[in-house]
Structure 1
C-alpha cells in the first residue's frame, strides 16, 4: 500500500513538474548562461529547486527543495540544495525528512545535462500503534542523472547508486524536472 501511494505521489509530482517544464520552455526566450563574458559573481548564480505535493487516500506528501548553483562556464556548474519533506499515512506513520545536497552539473551539449548529486537526509518517523513510537536515522543517496535541457529547465531521470532496502525512496530510479532562474 505504501509503495502504491509513493508511486502515485511521485507520478503526480512528476506530472506537475512536467507541466511547469513545458510552460517554462514555451516562455523561455533567454540564454541559460546570461553573460558568457561577465566576470560578476552574481551574474553566474542561478536559483531554483523543486516543489512537490501529493495526496491520496489518507496519504499526504509535501516537499520543498530550494537550490542554488554557480555557473563556472557554460559547461560546468556546482551548487547546494536543501530539502524538507513531510509524509503521512493515516493510522500508520508520519515522518519529517530534512537535509541538504551538493549538486554538480555538466552540459556537454546545450541540450544535454548530466548531473551528480550527493544527498544527506535526516529521517524522523513516528509510527502509530507501535511500542517504539519513533525512528530517527540518516539516509545518504548518490544520484547520477541525465536530462534534456531547454532554456532554464531540464527534464530527465536520475539513479541512486547507493540504493538499498533501508532507503527512504521507493525506487532507485526517479524522474526529475529541474528549473533554474
Structure 2
C-alpha cells in the first residue's frame, strides 16, 4: 500500500507538469510578435501664453499608447517658464494625458500635471523665493491633422495665486509621431 501512494503521487505530479508544459508551449507562438511598440507614439506639446508684461512658455515631451483609432493615453514630463513683471517661475514635473478622437479631425483631451514651482520675485528689499507644488487638470479640444493638433485647453484647478499659468485658458500645439 505504501508503494502505491508514492507512485500515484508521482504520476499526478508528472501529469500536472505535462499539462502546464503543454499549455505554455501552445501559448508561445514564435511567429507572432508583440504589437505593443507599434502602438506607442512619441511627441508632446509646446504651449505659450502672452499678456501685458508677461509670458508663459512650456515644453512637454511625452509618449502615448494608441489603444485604437479613438482613444490614446500616456505619460510625459513638463518644463515651464513664466515671467511677469519682476516675477520669475520655473516649473517642472510629470503629467498624464488621455486623448479622444470622436472623428479624425477633432481631438478632445484630459491632462493632469503636477508641477514643482521654483519662484523668485524681485522687490526693493531683495529677492523673495518660494518653492511649492501646483497641480493642474486640463480639459481641451483641438483640430487634428495627421500627427499635429492645435487647440485650447482649460485648467479646472486654476488658482490665480499659486498657478504658473496667467489664466485658466491656454492654447497648445501637440505633436505625436
What is the TM-score with the length of structure 1 in the denominator?
A: 0.68
Judging changes above 3 Å, is the alpha-carbon distance between structure 1 residues 174 and 180 closer, same or farther for their aligned structure 2 residues?
same
SS in 1 for 2:159: coil
What is residue 178 of structure 1 aligned with on the other side?
Answer: 174
Q: How many residues are paired up? A: 143
Q: Give me the whole-angstrom Cα distance separating, in 2, the residues matched to 1:151 and 1:97.
A: 30
1:59 CA displacement: 7.0
Which one of the candidate residues 87, 90, 103 is aligned to 1:96? Answer: 90
Match of 2:112? 118
Unmatched tracts of structure 1, length 5 or more = 1-37
Pair 54,160 (structure 1): closer, same or farther in 2 beyond 3 Å:
closer
Q: CA deviation at 1:88?
A: 4.4
**Cα distance per residue 1:79-128 (max 9 Å; x no partner):** 011111234467x2332111111100011111111100011111111222
Residue aligned with 2:38, SS: helix
CA apart distance, 1:40: 1.2
The whole-number CA distance in structure 1 between the counterparts of 2:54 and 2:73 is 35
| Local SS of the residue matching 1:43 | helix
Larger Cα-atom Rg? 2
Does residue 159 (structure 1) correspond to residue 154 (structure 2)? The answer is: yes
Secondary structure of 1:162's aligned partner:
coil
Could you tell me how far apart the structure 2 residues matched to 1:110 and 1:73 are? 12
- For structure 2, which runs of at least 5 residues remain unmatched after alignment? 1-32
Normalised to the residue count of structure 2, the TM-score between the two structures is 0.70
Residue in structure 1 matched with residue 136 of structure 2 by the alignment:
141
| Structure 2 partner of 1:6 | none
Shift of 1:149: 1.1
SS at match of 2:160: coil
The 3-state SS of whatever aligns with 1:133 is strand
Contact kept? 2:80, 2:90, Cα under 8 Å: yes
| 8 Å Cα contact 2:112-2:137 kept in structure 1 | yes
CA spacing shift, 1:148–1:54, aligned 2, 3 Å = closer
Residue 67, structure 1, aligned to residue 47, structure 2? no
